[in-house]
Chains A and B, each alone.
Chain A
Amino acid sequence: MNADFLALAQMAVGGGLMGMAYALMAYGFQLTYTAGKSVNFGQGELVMLGAFIGLSLTGIGLPYWAAVPGAMVAGAALGWFVERAAVRLALQQRNEGWILLTIIVGLFGVSAAENIWGRDDKPFPVPWPEGALEFFGISVTWPELVIAAGALGMMALVELAKRYTMLGIAVQAVSADPDSAELCGIRSKSAISLSWAVSGAAAAFAGTIIAPVTTVGPTMAAALTLKAFSVAVVAGLDSGFGLVLAGIALGSAENLSGFLLGSGWREAPGLILLILALALRPQGIFGKKIIRKV
């Protein structure tokens, strides 16, 4: 009985730590949504590309700590590109085609990854110590700890920048009232582009911290987008704290259902959460526009 309980607790903790990375990806949704009322439905693809780019950078001899910022710069460029090349054009036409466009750009990303890096999952080597730490009989590996600390640290860093730099306050002003922000001389389109770049960098960062645990492969992308979206919808898009809680809950639930019901059921909690949230309180959480089209 006690051993069973420990095994469950082990699963829940491992999943919860992973779930903080889901929260970080969902935070990327939150960033672009508050600034420009649009999100990247290819967020998981950016995570995957970030992981692959990080892997290639370590492959050419860069140490991990240098490969991560490299992948983030690439992620920022990709996020910026998706907004400039696809989303902005559709929004200028005042239609909701941007949703489909972000999905299409994401599919491009998957094809590109398959062509460049191949279809197979690859391990992502990291310099962290082997072995695990034990807390009350529950073991936690170093890569798992890095996921939790990295995800929370990155969210905290962006939030601080939003609150305590003039640029961040300007982005908040654009979210609050774009016309008024323009009248203050703030280029609201640039502020939205900036949010997409930061969101892309966060996604790439998430890729480089989860890849050591999950391995990297083109197929990871779609599942990650769905998980991040579930977390974002469940938590709502204005609560950073809610994202972390929802992320931990989803990560734990996944691991537990995979463990108790069989590995085929791992993805079930995310889908169920998403369906419940969309059915029970759609407008309150995400606004009608997106719900209608998804």
Chain B
Amino acid sequence: MLKAENLCAGYGGNDAIREISIEVVEGSCVALVGANGAGKSTLVKSLCGLLAPRKGKVFFDKIEITGLPASEIARRGLCLCPEGRRVFAPLTVEENLLLGAYPRLPSFVPFRKAASGELKCIYDMFPKLEERRSQQAGSLSGGEQQMLAIGRVLMARPSLIILDEPSMGLAPVVVKEVFKAILSLRNSGITILLSEQFARSALAISDNAYIIERGKVVLDGSSTDLAKNPAVIEAYLG
């Protein structure tokens, strides 16, 4: 469903990722595991159009999307839930959610009515968000903002979600909650690409994984095999 071939990308002079090829099969959950600064975020940014790759190609649903603007890629159903959550802080929780569905909603009114069904689904999944629907998103706690970011991406009705470091900066108990939400997404059949520092949780939740070090894929395979691999245990699970 999503395929990257020999991607090179980066900021400034050096490539932060070099010749990376990955594939995400429809209905699966794939993890990108690696330390901070290994190039995971650069990779997902170049997959979804926030960063133009210097070399290589990206295919989504068998169509090449390399170099398209992020808004066009999002409209095709490949949606990124960005690192650091990046909610629209001055806007309300509900406005943030509505923006997730922006391409589908009427430009003027009655946009709230048009999205009421989806809003209800998200609120059922994350009741906290409904309680805080008219609060500014910036006033939410980190965990709530992460739920909002996931809710916003779901509003787009994506066929593939990329989650970039969803546990970053969150308290352990909140991280658990976030992974519970990801697991339920996974069980509902949405295709997921998960970029995550916490190797143990990422391998536990995914079907396949790529281990990324210094901008390159060093290992890949099924997540259960990787979790047993001595090199992986030594570097990431020890």
Chain A residues with CB under 8 Å of chain B are 164-167, 169-170, 172-173, 176-177, 179-188
With A169-B99, A170-B102, A173-B91: A180-B82 Cβ-Cβ less than 8 Å: yes
A253 to chain B, nearest CB (A): 32
Query: Is B95 touching A184 in the complex (CB atoms < 8 A)?
Result: no
Contacts of A183 in B (CB 8 A): 48, 50, 70-71, 74, 79-80, 82, 86, 153
Contacting A180 at CB < 8 Å: which of B69, B86, B111? B86
Kindly list 12 other residue pairs between chains A and B, CB separation below 8 angstroms, not including A166-B102, A172-B90.
A166-B98, A166-B109, A169-B98, A177-B86, A179-B82, A182-B70, A182-B74, A183-B86, A184-B71, A184-B74, A184-B156, A185-B75
Complex: how many Å from CA A15 to CA B178?
58
B151 at the interface (CB under 8 A from A): no
Complex: how many Å from CA A166 to CA B96?
11
B107 at the interface (CB under 8 A from A): yes
Contacting A176 at CB < 8 Å: which of B70, B79, B88, B152? B88
Query: Is B88 touching A177 in the complex (CB atoms < 8 A)?
Result: yes
A-B contact pairs, 6 of them (CB 8 A): A170-B99, A180-B88, A183-B70, A183-B86, A185-B71, A186-B102
Complex: how many Å from CA A107 to CA B212?
55
B168 at the interface (CB under 8 A from A): no
- B147-187 interface bits toward A, Cβ cutoff 8 Å, 1 = contact, 0 = none: 00000110010000000000000000000000000000000
Contacting B69 at CB < 8 Å: which of A165, A166, A177, A182? A182
Query: Is B71 touching A186 in the complex (CB atoms < 8 A)?
Result: yes
Query: Is B103 touching A185 in the complex (CB atoms < 8 A)?
Result: yes
Complex: how many Å from CA A167 to CA B107?
5
Contacting A172 at CB < 8 Å: which of B79, B91, B111? B91
Complex: how many Å from CA A166 to CA B109?
7
Closest 6 CB pairs of A and B: A182-B70, A185-B103, A166-B111, A185-B74, A180-B86, A176-B88
- How many of chain B's residues touch chain A, expressed as a range? 20 to 34
B11 at the interface (CB under 8 A from A): no
Complex: how many Å from CA A180 to CA B91?
13
B39 at the interface (CB under 8 A from A): no
Query: Is A179 touching B99 in the complex (CB atoms < 8 A)?
Result: no
B204 at the interface (CB under 8 A from A): no
A73 to chain B, nearest CB (A): 18
Contacts of A187 in B (CB 8 A): 69, 71
| Max count, chain B CB within 10 A of own CB: residue among A165, A172, A173, A184 | A184
B105 at the interface (CB under 8 A from A): yes
- B98-128 interface bits toward A, Cβ cutoff 8 Å, 1 = contact, 0 = none: 1110110111110100000000000000000
Which residues of B from 59 to 100 have beta carbons under 8 Å from A?
Answer: 69-71, 74-75, 79-80, 82, 86-91, 95, 98-100
Complex: how many Å from CA A179 to CA B102?
15
B49 at the interface (CB under 8 A from A): yes
Which residues of B from 26 to 45 have beta carbons under 8 Å from A?
Answer: none
Minimal Cβ-Cβ distance residue in B for A187: B71
Contacts of B103 in A (CB 8 A): 185
Query: Is A182 touching B49 in the complex (CB atoms < 8 A)?
Result: yes
Minimal Cβ-Cβ distance residue in B for A191: B71
Minimal Cβ-Cβ distance residue in B for A186: B102
Contacts of B82 in A (CB 8 A): 179-180, 183
Query: Is A181 touching B50 in the complex (CB atoms < 8 A)?
Result: no
Minimal Cβ-Cβ distance residue in A for B112: A166
Query: Is B107 touching A184 in the complex (CB atoms < 8 A)?
Result: no
With A166-B105, A184-B99, A186-B99: A176-B71 Cβ-Cβ less than 8 Å: no
Contacting A164 at CB < 8 Å: which of B90, B99, B102, B109? B109
Complex: how many Å from CA A183 to CA B71?
6
Contacts of A172 in B (CB 8 A): 88, 90-91, 95
Query: Is A176 touching B107 in the complex (CB atoms < 8 A)?
Result: no
Minimal Cβ-Cβ distance residue in A for B95: A169
Minimal Cβ-Cβ distance residue in B for A166: B111
Query: Is B91 touching A185 in the complex (CB atoms < 8 A)?
Result: no
